Amino acid sequence: MQSKTDIDEPVTLIKSYTVPAVEAEYFIDVYRENARIMSTQPGFLHSRLHRALGPVRRIM
């Protein structure tokens, strides 16, 4: 696949999500399913999800 940006090395994407506590488990399930689908795409290396331990329900 030809790069449209002339970058031919891995790129790291960090995305932050704020999820209501009651929806956190559902969000994680959907995220994992999306990661499974993306893992079959050319160039995809891996996906990692981090959950905050504090009172703010942020998932990265």
The number of CA neighbours under 13 Å toward the Cβ of 9 is: 0
3-state secondary structure of 43: coil
pLDDT > 90? residue 50: no
Over residues 36-46, the pLDDT tens digits come to: 999 998 888 88
Residue 18 near residue 36 (C-beta atoms within 8 A)? no
Higher pLDDT pick, 39 / 54 = 39
* pLDDT per residue as tens digits for the range 4-37: 777 777 778 888 888 888 888 899 999 999 999 9
Q: What residues does each domain of the chain span?
A: 17-59
